[in-house]
Structure 1
């Protein structure tokens, strides 16, 4: 993928899982809970280190750290802390499952998770999903979404995208011509061609395809998608385009959308801040300020409150 990736959360130096487990035990033992201590510790450790703390906690105290946290915390603050304590791939699987279970399907969540990630990460999520839920992710997706949108998403979930960094300039020209023939050059739209190219090519290859498309047609691929395709398929294709250009900018827009309008979409805000914290959250902050002319810190501070706000802000490392 293009664009420098700068994380906010990095592994702590001089890490000691047993000492950290003791700190958490003290924060939850007795009358009242020291939320500040929990926030300070967990937001300054990597996810891999948090898993070691969890193991040390169980070994030292014969208690389940996750259950203890659940019993002490509540609301959105609890959701942030539990998200931090969940291995990344497992967390994405749970978010996908939540998006498909219950009343209605949250297509935005499915698009955000599956359309933004390179093939290696998708394969890890697919494997983790079947281990967690004893059913293939593709099977579950096919039951919940339909049409050409379903075709694109299932192609992505079956791991058809080329490995990260795979490029072929000549094929980029061919694919640009195919996209032009499938859309602007004909009456109606051949969505299958869009789906095949957008789900198979690496993000680096897609960047070449989009450049060739503009040279060939005189318009951007975004303009073509807007003219030719609607609904959830439009949203998914646009997500792929945006992540090809700049994943941090894509996630900055997603964060803004989660906080824009009446009420905050807390699950989306938590998912993006936590899941990007060790990948490119610092870059997301930069893009948020560039696009919206305000800091991500100020936006979160205005839209959230209490320990929930403190935990999210702590992850921003401002």
Structure 2
């Protein structure tokens, strides 16, 4: 007995090889994972088959199975196969996504590229559908791919008044109980620290930051004051100090402006104006020049495309455009690099990097090495590194802040503080992978005293 209405004329839609040639009825129990039930199909007595799954989801355009369609929540016996079915064509076969089953007409999914998904990236092109990727094609949501995690989480059972009292006792009288201060600040989120500041002033009529400044000094003071600054203010403050006075700390400008989200950049620009009474774009123009100036001005607009859709055709066109602007001509069209790297989303840039390597037989980062120099080279590479693997970018910055004689404490503090609630767990993992030593080991060998204890408490050691 045939399944009413199935298969439609021309066979089952969009699922190559199903049903097998010559088999026009719904498969009997035990074949193709349709569940076996007592009496088999059709039911004893010649009844009809159960209602078909909703046609809107069986299978939906764009892949099989469709979320909410077939198999239904809870699934049919044997469907999906062991490991689960990826949620859409092109999903990476990474832990948690499951592995697609082998089957007629279905070649599986390509493995993720060697760059890893730590920094986000385009969905992989499915094979078994003629090798053609849909254009545009949705990339996995950033949260799904990156799975970023900070080492500092909001403390449960938080009590701002109790913490304010602990800090007051730690600073009262002769000497300072630095360990008590460390125990509080290293185990509270930034939002909770702001509440502690407010409670301290309400309870004691004193400014917590001024009291901390009077009790502390050196690197431990800089680190604790950074932890008590709201995140946006700390970024704005860091940018102001990088451009204040003689000389400019260009690496600070790159680290912040080339790695933040649109919303973060817009909030930084507004905070810079309200807190320091200055226009950040004007300060950038006054302190930098040439193509580096233009890149930073582009960055502080906060207008990068942030959609998670990867257009592979555009990636191919951009890769060709970049090749013609650099390796493919005498001289370099810097404005072309600025336009592509300042406007495209990070997943889109990752696809462009992969397309470029096929066109030029050279990595785009190495091409930028050959075509640019100085700060604009560092800025462009920072953008690409964030597109490919953001935690690896920060791991490299941390390594160089401690490598060799002396320590760049301001960079060490800034990265540890700003990433502590975002992706410091992933940064630690990349650090170990890249340098065959843990971040904590290097911090312990390069710092000392209460400063070392607080840093290690933040990184989770």
> Which of 377, 384, 394 is the matching residue for 1:241?
384
Which residue matches 2:415?
272
Which residue matches 1:199?
342
1:69 and 2:212 matched = yes
**Residues 129 and 137, structure 1, Cα contact 8 Å, conserved in 2:** yes
Task: Provide the C-alpha distance between the structure 1 equivalents of 2:259 and 2:265, rounded to a whole number of angstroms.
Answer: 9
Which residue matches 2:248?
105
Which residue matches 1:81?
224
Task: Provide the C-alpha distance between the structure 1 equivalents of 2:453 and 2:246, rounded to a whole number of angstroms.
Answer: 31
Task: Provide the C-alpha distance between the structure 2 equivalents of 1:122 and 1:174, rounded to a whole number of angstroms.
Answer: 28
Q: Identify which range, 113-122 or 32-41, moves more after superposition.
A: 113-122
Which residue matches 1:147?
290
**Structure 1 unpaired stretches of 5+:** none
* 1:65-113 deviation per Cα after TM superposition (whole angstroms, max 9, x unaligned): 0101001111100000000000011001111111111221111111111
Task: Provide the C-alpha distance between the structure 2 equivalents of 1:254 and 1:212, rounded to a whole number of angstroms.
Answer: 27
How many aligned positions are there? 318
> Which of 147, 164, 170 is the matching residue for 1:27?
170
> Which of 316, 326, 348 is the matching residue for 1:173?
316
Which residue matches 2:459?
316
Misfit runs of 4+, over 2 Å: 163-170
Which residue matches 1:285?
428
1:39 and 2:187 matched = no
**Residues 119 and 164, structure 1, Cα contact 8 Å, conserved in 2:** no
* 1:205-260 deviation per Cα after TM superposition (whole angstroms, max 9, x unaligned): 11111111112222111121111111111111111111111111111110011011
* 1:40-59 deviation per Cα after TM superposition (whole angstroms, max 9, x unaligned): 11110000000001001101
The structure whose RCO (Cα within 8 Å, separation 6+) is larger is: 1
> Which of 191, 197, 205 is the matching residue for 1:54?
197
Bigger radius of gyration: 2
**Residues 120 and 163, structure 1, Cα contact 8 Å, conserved in 2:** no
Describe the SS at the equivalent of 1:116. Answer: coil
User: Displacement, 1:169?
Assistant: 2.5
> Which of 183, 195, 198 is the matching residue for 2:326?
183
1:209 and 2:352 matched = yes
> Which of 114, 117, 121 is the matching residue for 2:260?
117
Task: Provide the C-alpha distance between the structure 2 equivalents of 1:207 and 1:48, rounded to a whole number of angstroms.
Answer: 33
Which residue matches 1:227?
370
**Residues 24 and 38, structure 1, Cα contact 8 Å, conserved in 2:** yes
User: Displacement, 1:189?
Assistant: 0.3
Describe the SS at the equivalent of 1:102. Answer: coil
Task: Provide the C-alpha distance between the structure 2 equivalents of 1:142 and 1:164, rounded to a whole number of angstroms.
Answer: 29
Q: TM-score, normalised by structure 1?
A: 0.98
Task: Provide the C-alpha distance between the structure 2 equivalents of 1:300 and 1:233, rounded to a whole number of angstroms.
Answer: 30
Q: Identify which range, 133-142 or 164-173, moves more after superposition.
A: 164-173
**Residues 164 and 203, structure 1, Cα contact 8 Å, conserved in 2:** no
Task: Provide the C-alpha distance between the structure 2 equivalents of 1:4 and 1:296, rounded to a whole number of angstroms.
Answer: 20
**Residues 118 and 164, structure 1, Cα contact 8 Å, conserved in 2:** no
* Structural RMSD (CA): 1.1
Task: Provide the C-alpha distance between the structure 2 equivalents of 1:204 and 1:122, rounded to a whole number of angstroms.
Answer: 19
**Residues 261 and 302, structure 2, Cα contact 8 Å, conserved in 1:** no
Describe the SS at the equivalent of 1:163. Answer: coil
Task: Provide the C-alpha distance between the structure 1 equivalents of 2:372 and 2:303, rounded to a whole number of angstroms.
Answer: 22
